[in-house]
Amino acid sequence: MSTSAPALPKPLQLPLSQEDLAAINEYLHPLTPEEILRWAVDYIPGLYQTTAFGLTGLVAIDMLSKITPAPPPLIFLDTLYHFPETYALVEEVRARYGAPLHVYKPAGCADVQEFERKHGERLWERDEGAYDYAVKVEPARRAYAELGVQGVITGRRASQGGARAGLQPVEVDETGLVKVNPLCAWNVQLVELYIKEHGVPHNALLGQGYRSVGDWHSTVPSGAGDAGERAGRWAGREEKTECGLHEDYFAAKARARARVG
């Protein structure tokens, strides 16, 4: 039996109370990804989509293009270490869908050379937390502040495992940011089927043995018998399942300050 929509204002008054969040998730849980996205567009102010142009994010981009003539703008965090195929995909998506795209890079760094002059070479090996904060966490929070972001659409799914296993359609993080996970209940087979049926552009590396694509220095093709939808990411680091973007912001910021202090 379907649950009736909670009586909430359009747009929502943020921050959300725990009671309202629970009622929203109870209502959204049985809905399709398209219905969740339609609800988000109607209700969440300052809505953007953060994307690294993975398959799930691409599905959401395609769905939104069919739901509204003015889809939420995209935010792409350019770590400066993406594969050439990823940068080519960014331009293909920009040309096909026409959604506004905001690109954010590490603070004060236009390219790899500037990043390595500032942070040294191979920072991801010397201090992985510092690297994640510099290329993902700080640029994201700078984007949210400059653009007035109050809610973001993500490409996270429960079947990806790790910290994502208990995902709900809507979450509120420790800063009050609303995170919408429209495909949280889909598995990778459903995602791939949608990509194929709708002709959605995707990363060419996925046809070359890669199961999930991140930075070139921490992504390898998945081998025979590799388990998990994100196999090949952070190779040799079984305990690592997130890049820092969806972890506690205040804790990450405190650790970053401690390093320079």
Please say if 243 is a catalytic residue: yes
CA nearest to 223, candidates 214, 213, 211: 211
Which residue type sits at 76?
Answer: F
Q: Quick one: CA dihedral 39, 41, 44, 49, positive or negative?
A: positive
150 phi/psi in degrees, rounded to 5: -115, -20
Distance CA 244, CA 253 (A): 11
Catalytic residue among 74, 153, 200, 243: 243
Residue listed under structure tokens 């760094």 = 109
Which amino acids are annotated catalytic? 243
